[in-house]
């Protein structure tokens, strides 16, 4: 059954490391990371010695240059060096907005994807990878929307996506969303389809059946693929599991996934309580919060990253802290989709590791991690003289060390310590400081506040130069853009026209379903949905 899955990867697709050489980087300042007190660790006038893809030494540049006068030199006296950033939550390339999907509440936004066009796995992946690399993001947690068809299709999809990331030079932690119920609304698929006009039900039934996860087969295939890639590209590719959400997964599905994760020593990334409707669903279905339900199942474990976590309360956060979970904060996503604002300050006060994700797109409909960092920093600056607020150190650690810890590249990335991977971003100090920044401003603060759009001048991943003078080096960016445009400018096929028409009709039925099940009068008014809030009716 798994014969095709285990076929070796063609040699022509393996990542060539011939250009990963020994060299020095000169910097004006090098940010190693932040310390346990969230203070920046900066070495002024530092040189970085890179050998075999890792950081060999960080010492004063003049000393390193005297020791290795023959080595090639990168950077310069104006360069600021820091660890590659990590996008801890990402799904696809071209944004839904580009493909005609209007913003709206998540429950009415996701169904519109069924009418979107698609340019293919490689082009779609490369599009967002270009933006990530050129903004200094070197590693991505890719959560694919799901798998359809047979195992050969699954293998083809995952291989094309992973190879595209590696072709452009990024590290990727690959996962795929698993659903085995309630794919359209918060009730059984067959029950909801029975409420549709017969011809619409007939159209959607095989599509939903094809994307409903055969859990046992998915998990066996996952184990095989994880093993294949561990042998083929262990430093550039990791695999983890992604149960889609509580309302999309039965308890049996969740238990099987977390058991497989434990047996294979894999990480798990799970969307949870992204919207108030998801939070209320858990109370209606289980009589308790989604976080409590996961804990009672034994699924709230230290290898779990909760994606979003917007509608958690204080008791949920206590459980998350006790179990050692991480949370991925997707600030832009919560605002764009009217999902809410996660209580990040409460998470930080409870010492919960928080990382950052851009999700489908940032506020500028792109994947600029510095923009996401600035947004997260500003969004949680609550009023008051003595109020707790995230520091620049908090935000920098979210986008580096905490993000790296959720990807499966354990202890390889997130800081520029000796022995870690040479995932290094260089920006020009003069681009940040022109015409002047006072010496009293910490470097990380200046970096977060003053960087411009897509700021990376040079980027290395494992010592390999993947961005130079602000542009990716391993692919022809303009050719990729042109090919995407050419494909999407073609007239809609008859199948695509029908998909859009059927999706528009489906959306009306979904809208009616949610309005009837979650009446407007029980919804919360606009507010910071801080940890003090609760969906549990018994706590009102």
Query: Rounded to the nearest 5 degrees, what angle is found at the Cα of 130, between the Cα atoms of 160 and 328?
Result: 85
Confidence of residue 192 (pLDDT cuts 50, 70, 90): very high
Q: How far apart are CA 517 and CA 529, in angstroms?
A: 21
Interval 271-296: pLDDT, tens: 999 999 999 999 999 999 999 999 99
DSSP element (H, E) containing 172: strand 171-178
The crossing angle, in degrees rounded to 10, of helices 369-379 and 443-450 is 110
Residue 475 has pLDDT above 90, yes or no: yes
pLDDT for 382? 87
Confidence of residue 453 (pLDDT cuts 50, 70, 90): confident
Spell out the residues 6+ positions from residue 12 whose beta carbon is closer than 8 angstroms to its own.
Answer: none
Other CB atoms within a 10 A radius of the CB of residue 533 amount to 18
Q: Which two tokens stand for residue 512?
A: 């009616």
| 3 state SS for 339-404 | CCCCCHHHHHHCCCCEEECCCCCCCCCCCCHHHHHHHHHHHCCCCCCCCCCCCHHHHHHHHCHHHH
Q: Which two tokens stand for residue 404?
A: 């790296």
pLDDT for 425? 98
Q: Which residue has the tokens 């605002």?
A: 335
Task: Give the whole-number percent of the chain exceeding pLDDT 70.
Answer: 93
- The edge-to-edge listing of strands for the beta sheet with 326-329 is 268-272, 304-308, 326-329, 354-356
CB 435 within 8 A of CB 75: no
Residue 526 has pLDDT above 80, yes or no: no
Any bridge partners for residue 187, and if so which?
Answer: none
Coil vs helix vs strand at 157 = helix
pLDDT for 447? 93
Confidence of residue 537 (pLDDT cuts 50, 70, 90): low
Q: How far apart are CA 505 and CA 345, in angstroms?
A: 41
Interval 61-107: pLDDT, tens: 999 999 999 999 999 999 999 999 999 999 999 999 999 999 999 99
Beta strand 471-472 with 464-468 is antiparallel
Domain limits, the chain: 18-82+424-472
Beta strand 242-243 with 237-239 is unpaired
Interval 294-336: pLDDT, tens: 999 999 999 999 999 999 999 999 999 999 999 999 999 999 9
The arrangement of secondary structure in 18-82+424-472, i.e. its CATH architecture, is Roll (2.30)
Terminal alpha carbon distance of the chain: 53
pLDDT for 16? 41
Task: Give the whole-number percent of the chain exceeding pLDDT 90.
Answer: 88
Q: How far apart are CA 414 and CA 385, in angstroms?
A: 32
Query: Rounded to the nearest 5 degrees, what angle is found at the Cα of 436, between the Cα atoms of 430 and 441?
Result: 100
Mean of the pLDDT values across residues 482-504? 96
Q: How far apart are CA 270 and CA 295, in angstroms?
A: 14
Mean of the pLDDT values across residues 146-168? 95
Chain mean pLDDT for the chain:
92
**Alpha-carbon 148 to chain mean position:** 22
pTM for the full model? 0.93
Mean of the pLDDT values across residues 337-366? 95
Q: How far apart are CA 365 and CA 332, in angstroms?
A: 9
Q: How far apart are CA 185 and CA 277, in angstroms?
A: 11
pLDDT for 423? 98
Q: How far apart are CA 442 and CA 249, in angstroms?
A: 46
pLDDT for 18? 45
Mean of the pLDDT values across residues 331-354? 95
Interval 430-447: pLDDT, tens: 999 999 999 999 999 999
pLDDT for 98? 95
């Amino acid at each position: 059954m798994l014969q095709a899955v285990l076929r070796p990867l063609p040699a022509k697709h393996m990542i060539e490391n011939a250009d990963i050489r020994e060299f020095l980087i000169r910097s004006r300042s090098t940010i190693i990371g932040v310390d346990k007190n969230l203070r920046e660790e900066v070495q002024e006038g530092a040189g970085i010695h890179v050998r075999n893809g890792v950081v060999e030494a960080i010492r004063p540049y003049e000393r390193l240059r005297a020791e290795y006068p023959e080595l090639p030199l990168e950077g310069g006296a104006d360069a600021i060096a820091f660890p590659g950033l990590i996008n801890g939550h990402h799904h696809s390339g071209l944004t839904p907005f580009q493909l005609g999907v209007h913003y709206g509440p998540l429950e009415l936004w996701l169904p519109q994807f069924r009418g979107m066009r698609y340019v293919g796995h490689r082009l779609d992946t490369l599009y967002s990878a270009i933006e990530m690399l050129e903004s200094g993001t070197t590693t991505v947690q890719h959560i694919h929307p799901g798998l359809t068809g047979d195992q050969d299709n699954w293998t083809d999809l995952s291989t094309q996506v992973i190879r595209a990331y590696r072709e452009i030079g990024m590290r990727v932690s690959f996962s795929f969303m698993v659903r085995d119920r309630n794919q359209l609304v918060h009730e059984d698929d067959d029950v909801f389809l029975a409420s549709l006009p017969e011809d619409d039900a007939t159209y959607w039934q095989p599509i939903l059946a094809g994307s409903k996860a055969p859990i046992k087969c998915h998990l066996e295939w996952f184990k095989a693929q994880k093993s294949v890639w561990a042998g083929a590209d262990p430093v550039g590719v990791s695999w983890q599991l992604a149960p889609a959400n509580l309302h999309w997964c039965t308890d049996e599905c969740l238990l099987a996934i977390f058991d497989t994760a434990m047996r294979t020593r894999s990480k798990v990334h799970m969307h949870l309580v992204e919207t108030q409707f998801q939070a209320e669903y858990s109370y209606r279905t289980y009589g308790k919060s989604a976080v409590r339900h996961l804990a009672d199942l034994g699924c709230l474990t230290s290898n779990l990253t909760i994606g979003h976590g917007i509608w958690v309360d204080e008791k949920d956060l206590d459980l998350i802290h006790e179990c050692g979970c991480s949370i991925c904060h997707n600030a832009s996503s919560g605002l764009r989709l009217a999902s809410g604002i996660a209580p990040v300050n409460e998470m930080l006060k409870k010492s919960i590791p928080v990382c950052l994700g851009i999700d489908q797109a940032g506020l500028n409909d792109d994947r600029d991690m510095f923009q996401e960092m600035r947004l997260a920093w500003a969004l949680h600056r609550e009023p008051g003289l003595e109020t707790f607020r995230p520091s620049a150190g908090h935000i920098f650690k979210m986008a580096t060390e905490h993000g790296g810890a959720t990807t499966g590249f354990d202890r390889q990335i997130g800081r520029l310590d000796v022995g870690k991977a040479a995932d290094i971003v260089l920006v020009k100090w003069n681009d940040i400081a022109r015409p002047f920044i006072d010496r009293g401003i910490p470097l990380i603060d200046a970096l977060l506040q003053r960087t411009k759009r897509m700021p990376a001048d040079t980027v290395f991943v494992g010592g390999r130069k993947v961005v130079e003078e602000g542009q990716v080096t391993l692919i022809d960016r303009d050719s990729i853009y042109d090919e995407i445009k050419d494909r999407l400018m073609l007239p809609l096929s008859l199948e695509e026209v029908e998909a859009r028409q059927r999706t528009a009709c489906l959306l009306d039925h979904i809208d009616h379903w949610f309005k009837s099940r979650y009446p407007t009068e029980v919804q919360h008014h606009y507010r910071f949905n801080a940890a003090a809030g609760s969906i549990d009716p018994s706590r009102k």
